[in-house]
Structure 1
Amino acid sequence: MDDKDGRDGRQRAKADFRFDDARLCFAFAGTLADRGTDTPFERLARPEDLSRWAVQSACATTPPPCTEADLGRARHLREAIQRTGRALADTVPPAPEDIALVNRAAAEPASVPELAPDGSTVRWHGDAVTSVLSMVARDLIDLCASDHRTRVRICGNPDCGVPFVDASRAGARRWCSMKTCGALVKKRAYRARLHTPTDGA
């Protein structure tokens, strides 16, 4: 799915990363798109994609060097996060092997933030891929240890399947993002209504 909500105002492509309304850990889970379809779309197709995500997610100031092995570890962490998010949504304990994987990633030294001289921007020191993945894993751990763990949902778009945190007051949010999945599902429903004949037709 393409949309017009890219950060620079351009038409957003399928390969572009999504950060709308998402916690860091679940934005990372969203790097595999179309989970509910027969052909999921891999946004982390190459090591350079992981380096690009690190910068766009604001976990790194400059693109960290990334190898194929780093990419493999990142994908394993991503799927552990996805499964843990689904377990939280289903109110069941996460799998022990997923907890162990997340804990191993979180045990790596995280990047250190430094406030820039302008007092409004942050620079990161220690921008290694392992540091970025540590930050992602620690975000999931923070979520699991918070009251928001009971607010984890799975996106109502059946093609998506990515977890999100429902921080709405009513607790009735259905989509990982209204700008993407919510808009898409509503557009599909509208088109279906247009093609459904009325009783008097």
Structure 2
Amino acid sequence: MEIATGQWLESGEGTRWWFDAGALALDFAWTGAINGEHLETLHAPADLGVWLADRFPRLDQSIGERELSDALMLRAAIAGLAAGAATARPATASDIDIINLFAATPDVPPALAGGSRQAGAGAVRATQALSAIARDAVRIFDPDADGRIRECAAEDCGYLYLDTSRSGNRRWCSMQRCGNRAKVRAHRARTNGLKVSGLQVSR
């Protein structure tokens, strides 16, 4: 099942910006903090329900503290592997075990629309959604995968993402955020350079 990636995030200053981590598992990891970046968004089971329902439309909203606890455990494991992959640090066995455990449970079965029977078209349980997220984590962290998990090139940013660009040269977490800041700094530097050059010539 193809799931669109990306989500609106909010900084500590209250600024909202669009961030596409390039993978469902990494988007899920960024509902909390990695490397001290970003704010917690899954405060209660209802918050988890809203996030999952945006990606799994047939989600069963009967989500309790147990499902939230499982989700936070899976999220921490994904965040740990992502931080390690971005810095070439070996993954911990405990994080791998947690992801494998969730990935081993039944996930959301694929189904074609338009049939006369309801098989595969029922409500999606939170455990199935978490399994789908874990399987996506297995895909992106597989040692034989491309391994293009990057850290934003901005010095004051720690956001991680899967570089899915064809050329493999994505530099910024978001063009709305760090990419735009870099353009502003570059423009300012060019402008100041021209001013300095003009003063030197007039002398």
Question: Does TM-score exceed 0.5, indicating one fold?
Answer: yes
Q: 1:24, CA displacement in angstroms?
A: 0.5
CA distance, structure 1, for counterparts of residue 126 and residue 174 of structure 2: 27
Q: What RMSD in Å do the two structures reach over aligned CA positions?
A: 3.5
1:177 to 1:63, Cα distance in 2 relative to 1, 3 A: farther
Choose which of 125, 143, 151 in structure 2 pairs with 1:154: 151
- The aligned length equals 184
Aligned to 1:29: 29
CA distance, structure 2, for counterparts of residue 189 and residue 34 of structure 1: 26
Equivalent position SS for 2:111: strand
Q: 1:170, CA displacement in angstroms?
A: 3.5
CA distance, structure 2, for counterparts of residue 115 and residue 189 of structure 1: 50
* Residues 23-172 of structure 1 aligned to structure 2 (within 5 Å): 23-32=23-32, 35-37=35-37, 40-56=38-54, 58-117=55-114, 125-145=122-142, 147-157=144-154, 161-172=158-169
Q: Which residues of structure 2 form unaligned runs of 5+?
A: 1-5
Answer whether contact 1:108 1:134 (CA < 8 A) is retained. yes
Q: 1:28, CA displacement in angstroms?
A: 0.4
CA distance, structure 2, for counterparts of residue 135 and residue 104 of structure 1: 12
1:103-154 deviation per Cα after TM superposition (whole angstroms, max 9, x unaligned): 1111221122322229xxxx85451111111000000101223754421112
The structure that has the greater radius of gyration is 2
Answer whether contact 2:140 2:147 (CA < 8 A) is retained. no
Q: 1:181, CA displacement in angstroms?
A: 4.4
CA distance, structure 2, for counterparts of residue 179 and residue 31 of structure 1: 19
1:57-100 deviation per Cα after TM superposition (whole angstroms, max 9, x unaligned): x2342353211222122112111101111222223331000001
Answer whether contact 1:60 1:124 (CA < 8 A) is retained. no
CA distance, structure 2, for counterparts of residue 187 and residue 21 of structure 1: 21
Q: Which residues of structure 1 form unaligned runs of 5+?
A: 1-5
Answer whether contact 1:110 1:135 (CA < 8 A) is retained. yes
Answer whether contact 2:34 2:83 (CA < 8 A) is retained. no
Instruction: Find runs of 4+ consecutive structure 1 residues off by over 6 angstroms.
Output: none
TM-score, normalised on structure 1?
0.72
Q: Percent identity?
A: 32
1:96 to 1:21, Cα distance in 2 relative to 1, 3 A: closer
Choose which of 10, 16, 26 in structure 2 pairs with 1:14: 10
